[in-house]
Structure 1
Amino acid sequence: MRPSFGIMTPPQQVDYADVLRVWREADGIAAIEHAWLFDHLMPIGGPVTGPAHEGWTLLSALAALTTRLRLGVMVTSNRFRPPALLAKIATTVDVVSGGRLDLGIGAGSRPSHPVARVEYDAHGFPYHDAEQAVAALAEACQVIRRLWTEDEPFDFHGEHVRLTGAFGNPKPVQRPHPPILVGGVASATLRVAAEHADVWNAPGHDLEAAARRSARLDRYCAELGRDPRSITRSTVLHASYEHPERTREEIGRALELGFSHVVLGLPSPYPERVARWVADELVAPFA
C-alpha cells in the first residue's frame, strides 16, 4: 500500500496561533496528507497548569482555515463525550472541512497513565475500568455509524449506551461515512478494530510490539470473515529535530512492518517552516 504521511501537533503548552501556523503551512505541502490533534483536557507533558486546547473545538477551527489536509483527533477518548454527541460533533467538522475528517477514537487513557488520569478527576468524569471502557467503545462505534448512515430514527439499548429516537441530520459529507480510525493495542480493543475500523493505529515507541499486535488484528479479522487488508495500519512516531536520521530509520522500519499510515508527532515549540522541514527531511526519502 502506498504510504501516506501526516503530522501531529499536540495542542498543549502552545498557543492557537502556533498550531494554526503549522497547519496552514502543511496544507500547502502535498507530501503531508493529514494532520492530527490529541484529546486531552490538561497537559500530559510539561506543567499540568499549562495551556491545553480542547481537541474537537480546535479541529473545527482548523478545518475552516485549511482546504486540503485530511484531519482528525488521534484519538478521541470515548470517555469524554456520549457517542451520539460525538457523532454530531464529528459530522459538523466533516461538513466544515468539506469532507476531510477521519474519526479517530479509542477507549480512553489507561489506568496506568497517572498523568492522564488527573484530567478525569479535575473535570468530574468517572473513570471506569478497562473492560467497561472497551465495551462502551464497541457500542459507540455502532451508534456513531448508524447516526451517520440511517435515514430513520432508531432506538439503541446497549449495556453502556441507551438512545431513544436517535437520528443524525445533517449527514457527513463523506459517504457512506468518514473513515473510522480505532486506536489501541489491548486485545479487546483489537477486536473492536477488527469489526469497526477502516484504520487501526498503534503507538510507535515499540514497532516490533506493534507488529505483533497487527498480526493479532489479522487473526481477529479472519475470525469475523473480514479481509485484514481492508484495515490500514497506522502508527505515530516522534519527530526528532536534532536527529532526523533516527526518525528516518523509524519510518523505514514502520513501513517494512506494514504501517503505511505514518503520523509524525511534532514536539513544541514548533520551529519556523517545520512542515517544510518534515516534508524535505523526513518524508522525501520515502516518496
Structure 2
Amino acid sequence: MTPVFSVQAQPTDAASWLELAIRCEQAGFDTLQAADHPGSCSAPSVALAAAAAVTSRIRLGAYVSNAGVREPIHLAADVVTLDVVSGGRARLGLGAGHTPAEWQAIGRDRPDVRGRVDRCLAVAEAVVALLNGETVTRHEPLLDMVEARLEAPRPVQERIPLTIGTANSRILRWAGEHADIVGLSGLGRTLEDGHRHEARWRTDQVDQQIAQVVAGAAGRAQPPALEALVQIVEVTDDAEAAAAPHAQRLGMSAADLLEAPFVMIGTGEEIRAALARHEKRWGISRYAVRANTIDAVVDAGLLTE
C-alpha cells in the first residue's frame, strides 16, 4: 500500500504560492494544507481559495483550524465556501489550539487543557451539525450559540471530510468515533514559549495514542485513516548520524527516533521500509510534510510504489 502524502504550507507571495499548489498537484500529493495561527501566518481559507483557482484535483484544507479562537459559524462558512469555489475539494481540519497569544489577541484567557478540549469537541460537533444543515443552539461555559444556521452556500460534497489534529487522549477517542482522518501530531505539553511542545514520539507513546483512536472507533464500519505530522525529513546514506542530534535534543536514542512516524530519515528504501512498519504496527497510512521537504519526498520516491 502506497502511503498518502499531504503538504502543509503557507504563502509568502502570490506567484510562489500558486506555483507551489500546481507543483504539489502535479507531483501527486493528496492535499495542500495551510496552518492556522491568527496573527503569525496567513488566513488558511483565503490562501486555499487562491490555490483552488489554479488546481483541479488536489484537496484543500486547514491543518488545523484553531477551534479555541474561531467560532463554529465562521469555520463552517469558510470551509463550505472553499468547497464551492474548489468544486468539492475542501477538507475541514480542527484542533484545540495551544498558543496563549492567540487567545489574548481576541481578549480571552487561554483555558486549561480540560477547557481547551471541551471547547474543541463542542466546536467540532457544532461545525459538523451546521454543515449537515442543522440549526444549532448551545449554551456551555466555552461555547454559546443561538439558532445558528448555515443557509447558503451549501457544500458541493455530500460530506466534507473531517480531520482532527491532536495528541490528547480525549480528543483522540472522539476523533476515532467521528473523524475521517485522525492527525497524529505527536505534540505533548506546550513549553514556556507558548509555541514549542514536548515530543510524544516514543513507540510506547504512539501505541497509547493509537489505542485511544481504536477505542473511539469501536463499532465503526470504517475506522478513520491515521495521518502523522512529519517534523523531520532527511534523505541520507547515514540515518543514525543524521538522527543523532535530533535524538539528543529530544532525549531519545537514535534508534528510537528512527522508529517514530514523525520523522523520515535514511535512504529512500529505508524510509519506505519504515513507513511499511508504521502501517503494519499502527495502521498509519497518511503523512503530512512541510513545504520545504517536498523535494526530499519526491526524490526519495515516496509518492510512488
Q: Return the TM-score normalized by structure 1.
A: 0.79
Task: Write out aligned runs for 1:108-123 (5 A).
Answer: 108-109=97-98, 116-122=99-105
Distance 1:214 1:79 in 2: 24
Is the strand fraction higher in 1 or 2?
A: 2
Which residue, out of 168, 181, 199, partners 2:163?
181
Distance 2:175 2:73 in 1: 19
Aligned 8 A contact 1:35 1:69 in 2? yes
Does 1:32 pair with 2:9? Answer: no
Equivalent residue for 1:113?
Answer: none
Aligned 8 A contact 2:173 2:214 in 1? no
Structure 1, gaps ≥5 residues long: 44-51, 110-115, 268-273
Task: Write out aligned runs for 1:127-146 (5 A).
Answer: 127-146=110-129
SS at match of 2:60: strand
Equivalent residue for 1:8?
Answer: 8
Distance 1:277-1:250 versus aligned 2 partners, 3 A rule: closer
Query: Which amino acid is 1:5 matched to?
Result: F
SS at match of 1:18: helix
Equivalent residue for 1:83?
Answer: 72
Does 1:235 pair with 2:228? Answer: yes
SS at match of 1:178: coil
Which residue, out of 163, 168, 185, partners 2:145?
163
Identity of aligned residues (%): 27
| Displacement after TM superposition at 1:38 (Å) | 0.7
Distance 1:147 1:252 in 2: 42
Aligned 8 A contact 1:8 1:265 in 2? yes
Supply the RMSD in Å over aligned alpha carbons.
2.7
Query: Which amino acid is 2:3 matched to?
Result: P
| Displacement after TM superposition at 1:231 (Å) | 0.7
| Displacement after TM superposition at 1:239 (Å) | 5.3
SS at match of 1:28: helix
Greater RCO (CA < 8 Å, at least 6 residues apart): 1
What count of residue pairs does the alignment treat as equivalent?
258
Q: Which moved more, 1:156-165 or 1:132-141?
A: 156-165
Distance 1:255-1:211 versus aligned 2 partners, 3 A rule: farther
Distance 1:125-1:19 versus aligned 2 partners, 3 A rule: farther
Which residue, out of 26, 34, 43, partners 1:54?
43
SS at match of 2:173: helix
| Displacement after TM superposition at 1:254 (Å) | 4.0
Q: Deviations over 1:54-99 (max 9, x none)?
A: 2222122222232110111111110121112111111101111111
| Displacement after TM superposition at 1:235 (Å) | 0.8
Distance 2:277 2:90 in 1: 27
Distance 1:211-1:254 versus aligned 2 partners, 3 A rule: farther
Equivalent residue for 1:226?
Answer: 220
Q: Which moved more, 1:203-212 or 1:2-11?
A: 203-212
SS at match of 1:72: strand
Structure 2, gaps ≥5 residues long: 187-198, 240-264
Distance 1:259-1:141 versus aligned 2 partners, 3 A rule: same
Distance 2:106 2:16 in 1: 26
Query: Which amino acid is 1:187 matched to?
Result: S
Aligned 8 A contact 1:32 1:279 in 2? no
Q: Deviations over 1:158-207 (max 9, x none)?
A: 443333222212221110x2110011011121122123211101126726
